[in-house]
Structure 1
């Protein structure tokens, strides 16, 4: 709600196009800020007259650090559900409010200089039903109380902000999401050797059903609802643009909210966003109504799946970036299947760690025939190894001739050098599915197993004195089991290649060391089962190689 004469919001561009940051600081409210807290069984919502929105949402069933409760919009400046002409700014309209605590209702009212009156009514959920818990209903009523037509320009409904939960959370898990677009994490805004720095993210698209900010495990989603009071203006039911920007969180602010800080020089970022809605014109005495649902809660697959507008997409399972982005659809599929299996098994055994172990055993059992066939193929390669060594020594000065003779040996003895690789190729999307799923499964937060206090975090048992270096047991144990597996496997290929493969345990340690300990648990069990399989088949007679009959 801009004051009279305020220009319309800057138009958004194509997805990913950048615009300058909003130039002016938010105007001070005409009256002192007042807050009111409305409680439910799951959330304590703190509402503010500054922007007439949700200043904070404290999640009662989820811990942050040191026993404190998880708080959404803890670091952002924009209240969730605040309505503004320009994204990232708060209008100077003085809002007054009234509450009906038994009904869980708070109503804000304010007018600008033109006579445009805005009423914002928030209803907090009274039911703990899976479909309604964590969802606040916001009803906006734009009322022209002047004697002249009023044009309301395109406006924005702010999603609030998201920020990391812990000091060492993956930075690329904090970001902004809307349907059909890739997850815009906070690293997107950084400049670099191959990309320019971005101040804001904007995009335009007709009929945007929702927009969200998210950290690794929690999200705030703003969803316009189909409003029966607006049947004559269906275009007002959905958004038509989105906006997001990141902000830096200083050490002082981070520590002031009871978060641990290890003195790292790396920057810590949060993100805030907004959903743009179409403008309209009101005749004197005319009203326009728009209803929104605001979800402030965990990125929980089972809960988000029940929401009707595809909000489960905020998990971004298929947004698998980097050089493996082509695996996105496969990784997304396996991530969903694995998470469903994880939750189903947890309901049965009561432990996420045991559920991960069972899933690993089931996968290994399904792949056993293929793995056994690959082991036999590796043994055939091992039996052929002396002849291949002779060929390499004989033609070591002529690589082209050497490769031709090696291929001739493969053909004569019917050996397929790729036969032993298929299990690894099959397990690659499964591994990435586990990696993707375990990094986003809020269900694993604070799940314990043996010495592991939280399967969603590294299993740090202590820090090295004077170095502040964490000692994580599971990744080290995982590397040891991988070395064991490699030692027990048939020796194939060039000896130099075998030596190069010995660095794989180190690579996996670096990959898993500061990641969710659940991933190291999965890899450890996977390696141990592979070792058992190898020892179970090691007593099989080494195949006798015979040349295949030549084709006539």
Structure 2
């Protein structure tokens, strides 16, 4: 790989970092947290981690009375590989246990059950609920708050066309049992919590919202603040058309969506509402992550979505419909459910490329039966499609390399006159028909595809727990052992070696100085270092890309002749050749004098 190739790779890496930074900084408009009545720790939720795992919650404010001490009642509902655990403590879902290949518990660090109804965003649900109905398809909770508002929550498994084992419906009804009007914009449904599977994960959990089709996410590290902002205990924002909100980790999400019922059945709805979120510090002093990198500042994130404004006359009832998706971030599954739930994939600015690539990768998996083979097939397809661009780039760069000695002579000759040197170099380009950007432009066209496929592999929940050869899980590094305490990851090592081989296979220009050669030799080691703990799916993609590029360079060297550097022959001035269909007797035919066109610069 020559200098321009490495420049493009550096641009790719810088672009990924900048894209991730901008994504993490896309904060909603915040409002100040409540100043008084702060509580240092929230009560642990049923089903929260045991073994002494304590959670430091964000500051909360409670206006209602403390939760009455009443016996807890529980109920479980199973749909496919998903088990929903319900509790009367908060009248909601204490946890969601995913079976099958997922083997994960959602809302494990939540301070309340999902669906708990808060009277303010950072509060809790103190209502003493009781179960009034339950079956193997749902459950009903009823209770009355301190203001005399009777609350009825009906959870039911989704059925019909737009159904999924990870989707459950929630119908919540508020009835004013008092004799006075009741108005409030401060009713919030708790959307649960999300956390990383390991404290050293690069992608941190985040909360998100969709405002009339405009979806945004905010990562936990955004609460730290920065040069232009201070640390924040919580974030919140108001929206006129809030479609959904929730939390997510790298591979899993909880989406709490507004819905409405019309003649066609249930469908998504945009309603006035608010989104609130805060982070939760997880204590790893008594679990398997004790002492692991990042464990001292490992945060979960929690969120709540408000109901539309409540306005109840005496004895009046207001009913709102919601749906909760709790499961893997699989683009096809979320796209099938509709309501723009697939937006939570957050592929970035090249999402329009990522989405068809995701579909194509699933086709490759259906064909091969293995996700590792699907990634290899996808890489070969992408590189084959880009072959003409890559070949054109290499051919142009070889011509530039042959022109380099002449350019060096010009620069030495006019070293005291940079302007004249530049003019002479441009003349060389024109005389020899060399386009100075002919090698870079085709490679730059490949960057969007690289970003797009990188985003697909980074967020594909389908890869979790899937193996390939010695790789046990394509979503994490392919560690096969340890040497002197350091993990041994074969795929990144193969990636680094193929980078070196690719660089050696491509001759470097004779004009490259000593400092540039040192930089080129260090580059493979640098990239090996930053990519060593990449998910094995990404390392596999990059390694196969390098191997393909080596084969491509070898084939071009064998079958495509080396370019010759010779001056462009300019056309001599003279009369243009006659048109064979020209009839001088026809008055409509006029003898037009052709103008001499200047030659175009070649690539």
The TM-score range, normalised by the shorter chain, is 0.7 to 0.9
Which residue is equivalent to 1:161? 193
Tell me which of 437, 445, 458 is aligned to 2:464.
Answer: 445
| Whole-Å separation in 2 of the counterparts to 1:49 and 1:463 | 48
Which residue is equivalent to 2:455? 436
Which residue is equivalent to 1:317? 347
Which residue is equivalent to 2:508? 491
CA drift at 1:228: 5.5
| Whole-Å separation in 2 of the counterparts to 1:431 and 1:457 | 20
Which residue is equivalent to 2:207? 175
| Whole-Å separation in 1 of the counterparts to 2:533 and 2:29 | 31
CA drift at 1:274: 1.2
CA drift at 1:222: 0.6
1:246 aligns with 2:279: yes
| Whole-Å separation in 1 of the counterparts to 2:277 and 2:28 | 11
> What are the residue-to-residue correspondences of 1:74-473 with 2, within 5 Å?
74-102=108-136, 104-125=137-158, 131-179=163-211, 180-227=214-261, 238-252=271-285, 255=287, 262=292, 264=294, 267-318=297-348, 328=349, 331-396=350-415, 398-465=417-484, 467=485, 469-473=486-490
| Whole-Å separation in 1 of the counterparts to 2:289 and 2:82 | 20
| Whole-Å separation in 2 of the counterparts to 1:159 and 1:235 | 17
| Whole-Å separation in 2 of the counterparts to 1:167 and 1:113 | 40
Cα contact 2:194–2:300 (8 A) shared by 1: yes
Provide the secondary structure at the position in 1 that maps to 2:104.
Answer: strand
Per-residue CA deviation, residues 259-310 of structure 1 (Å, 9 max, x unaligned), is 6762546511111111122222322322111121111111110110012311
Runs of 5+ consecutive residues of structure 2 not aligned to the other structure: 1-26, 40-61, 574-603
CA drift at 1:369: 1.9
Cα contact 1:141–1:290 (8 A) shared by 2: yes
CA drift at 1:379: 2.1
| Whole-Å separation in 2 of the counterparts to 1:19 and 1:162 | 23
Over aligned residue pairs, what C-alpha RMSD do you find? Answer: 2.8
| Whole-Å separation in 1 of the counterparts to 2:360 and 2:512 | 41
**Higher mean C-alpha displacement, 334-343 vs 398-407:** 398-407
Tell me which of 11, 17, 20 is aligned to 2:30.
Answer: 17
| Whole-Å separation in 1 of the counterparts to 2:543 and 2:409 | 38
Provide the secondary structure at the position in 1 that maps to 2:153.
Answer: strand
Cα contact 1:381–1:415 (8 A) shared by 2: yes
CA drift at 1:499: 4.3
Which residue is equivalent to 1:546? 566
CA drift at 1:446: 1.1
Cα contact 2:186–2:306 (8 A) shared by 1: yes
**Higher mean C-alpha displacement, 498-507 vs 445-454:** 498-507
Tell me which of 33, 36, 51 is aligned to 2:90.
Answer: 51
Per-residue CA deviation, residues 102-123 of structure 1 (Å, 9 max, x unaligned), is 3x22111111244321111111
| Whole-Å separation in 2 of the counterparts to 1:276 and 1:219 | 18
| Whole-Å separation in 2 of the counterparts to 1:306 and 1:513 | 36
Per-residue CA deviation, residues 294-337 of structure 1 (Å, 9 max, x unaligned), is 1111111011001231111111112xxxxxxxxx1xx2122212
| Whole-Å separation in 2 of the counterparts to 1:265 and 1:46 | 28
Residues 371/170 of structure 1: CA separation in 2 closer, same or farther (3 Å cut): same
| Whole-Å separation in 2 of the counterparts to 1:194 and 1:510 | 31
1:477 aligns with 2:494: yes
Provide the secondary structure at the position in 1 that maps to 2:233.
Answer: coil
Per-residue CA deviation, residues 216-235 of structure 1 (Å, 9 max, x unaligned), is 00000111211469xxxx99
Residues 190/156 of structure 1: CA separation in 2 closer, same or farther (3 Å cut): same
**Higher mean C-alpha displacement, 17-26 vs 533-542:** 17-26
CA drift at 1:171: 3.5
| Whole-Å separation in 2 of the counterparts to 1:213 and 1:245 | 11
Alignment: residue pair count: 513
| Whole-Å separation in 1 of the counterparts to 2:394 and 2:293 | 49
| Whole-Å separation in 1 of the counterparts to 2:112 and 2:504 | 57
Cα contact 1:162–1:270 (8 A) shared by 2: yes
Residues 307/21 of structure 1: CA separation in 2 closer, same or farther (3 Å cut): farther
Per-residue CA deviation, residues 356-392 of structure 1 (Å, 9 max, x unaligned), is 1111111221122222222222222222232233334
Runs of 5+ consecutive residues of structure 1 not aligned to the other structure: 1-13, 64-68, 319-327
Which residue is equivalent to 1:8? none
Cα contact 1:342–1:355 (8 A) shared by 2: yes
**Higher mean C-alpha displacement, 346-355 vs 36-45:** 36-45
CA drift at 1:54: 0.9
| Whole-Å separation in 2 of the counterparts to 1:125 and 1:53 | 16
| Whole-Å separation in 2 of the counterparts to 1:177 and 1:114 | 30
Residues 198/500 of structure 1: CA separation in 2 closer, same or farther (3 Å cut): same
| Whole-Å separation in 1 of the counterparts to 2:268 and 2:553 | 63
Bigger CA radius of gyration: 2
Per-residue CA deviation, residues 480-513 of structure 1 (Å, 9 max, x unaligned), is 1112112222424841345434443234324422
